[in-house]
Structure 1
């Protein structure tokens, strides 16, 4: 019987306990942090034992004008099958920064109707702190998988939805970028993108839902979202290009908030357009 994820977030202890389970698939979704400067690599890359590298670029639409654009359900299914992902897999995804890019992969699979997936709380830093088994990455190949997409359109928002919200104000848009970027006092990592924020949006930096490299508790997350959204509106999460918006989506799910979506184009799309902005 396939291993079942107990929650959208699992501990390193849980992962260690199930490390040799045949249905477990561990994905390393590490990407460089947006805006970070290249640094000299001081130590050799390691990964969690039995992990496979999941390239977010490979699972994004390379023909799209914007970074990290989600694939169609058909293309995602094809890529997932080529990767070797099966419907009966139990997936745990992590990254080297703790919780940064891994929630994006979690959200992508949620969007495609696959729910037996969790983010590793604390990611590789927490795993390494515990001295749990690691290994050097190898080019492992899985046999072709049988993954089937079951697209969930309510989990994604597009520019037209966000434009409509300026007049309807039916949703609350929470922006996961830093407050400086939100108010236009810090430059955007992409120089051609305007500063500021979407009208009717509020700032909720993704760091606010984290405690170090780990997620805050469900109780703390509920308080954070309730304080931002006293009217209990449906939520749309935005950021620079859809990565840290997914961190907020994960936090909302842990807080048992069900009506939310991720604006896939996020500020890169908005800031490159002639859409209205606030400072």
Structure 2
């Protein structure tokens, strides 16, 4: 993969490649019910990448917490992923959860992965082959994790960044949540935003369910970050911050990281400063 996104046409043309792995990373959008969709369909030969139940630390008090490198490696191997796999990841909402998986693999030192631009809706619209989800058994893969700590930030590092004028925190939540004028989906969490942060709703990365062009994305980032500071991306629980990370990657920005705990952790810890 020489780009972080691929088109549905590209995937269709390469669907029979021997080392291709297609992952469905669909999760419900925050604030919606987690209902089983009996009518669900998938791209042929898709494997389900379970962000919530398999690829998040279930012992953490915060949702979607990243696994250790060792545990991630084990679960990726169980999914049949190899060191030479070529991964395309998508979700049912266009571009929502798939960038989280892209970022996870990048965090684990694996770069041969791309997000399907437009996701399942774009694939279906193109009238390419779909099928009902199937149970798969996989030969255990030989994937090896090579953890890249510069791609992730934790709360104490973000707290330090709130006082650093060479770093900018970009928040992917809605402007209403950022300014505390609309409630958080998780009622126990305070509203508002971190010091030294700017509002950059993840929808600013998208146009009609697809990632904007490189030039459009460069313009978005130039507007919020004219000094070209290092960037930390945050959101509600670490999912849509990765859409900002994907947008930055397309815009050829490299000096960024994702705050894994995001606002769920920050807003829960009453000793941390907030602005409304």
**TM-score (structure 1 length as normaliser):** 0.96
Moved more, 114-123 or 136-145: 136-145
Residue 42 of structure 2 aligns with which residue? 47
1:277 matches 2:262: no
Residue 157 of structure 1 aligns with which residue? 153
Partners of 2:122 and 2:22 lie apart in 1 by: 15
Residue 72 of structure 1 aligns with which residue? 68
Q: For 2:233, what is the secondary structure of its paired residue?
A: strand
Partners of 1:40 and 1:121 lie apart in 2 by: 24
1:238 matches 2:227: no
Residue 207 of structure 1 aligns with which residue? 203
Partners of 2:264 and 2:126 lie apart in 1 by: 38
Q: For 2:89, what is the secondary structure of its paired residue?
A: strand
Note the C-alpha offset of 1:110: 0.1
Aligned residue pairs, count? 274
Note the C-alpha offset of 1:165: 1.5
Residue 123 of structure 1 aligns with which residue? 119
Note the C-alpha offset of 1:38: 5.9
- Contact kept? 2:162, 2:197, Cα under 8 Å: no
Moved more, 91-100 or 49-58: 49-58
Gaps of at least 5 residues in structure 1 are none
Gaps of at least 5 residues in structure 2 are none
CA-to-aligned-CA distance 1:40-99 (integer Å, 9 cap, x gap): 95x611000111111002100001110000001111111111121100000000000000
Partners of 2:67 and 2:200 lie apart in 1 by: 27
CA-to-aligned-CA distance 1:196-215 (integer Å, 9 cap, x gap): 00111000000011002100
Partners of 1:60 and 1:153 lie apart in 2 by: 17
CA shift in 2, pair 1:222/1:67, >3 Å:
same
Partners of 2:16 and 2:95 lie apart in 1 by: 23
CA-to-aligned-CA distance 1:153-201 (integer Å, 9 cap, x gap): 0100110111111222331000000000000011101010000001110
Q: For 1:172, what is the secondary structure of its paired residue?
A: strand
CA-to-aligned-CA distance 1:215-246 (integer Å, 9 cap, x gap): 00000000000110001000000000000000
RMSD over equivalenced CA pairs, Å: 1.1
Residue 182 of structure 1 aligns with which residue? 178
Partners of 1:160 and 1:70 lie apart in 2 by: 16
Q: For 1:168, what is the secondary structure of its paired residue?
A: coil
Structure 1's consecutive aligned runs of 4 or more residues displaced over 3 angstroms after TM superposition are 37-41
Give runs of aligned pairs for residues 82-101 of structure 1, distance below 5 A: 82-101=78-97
- Contact kept? 2:100, 2:240, Cα under 8 Å: yes
Residue 245 of structure 2 aligns with which residue? 249
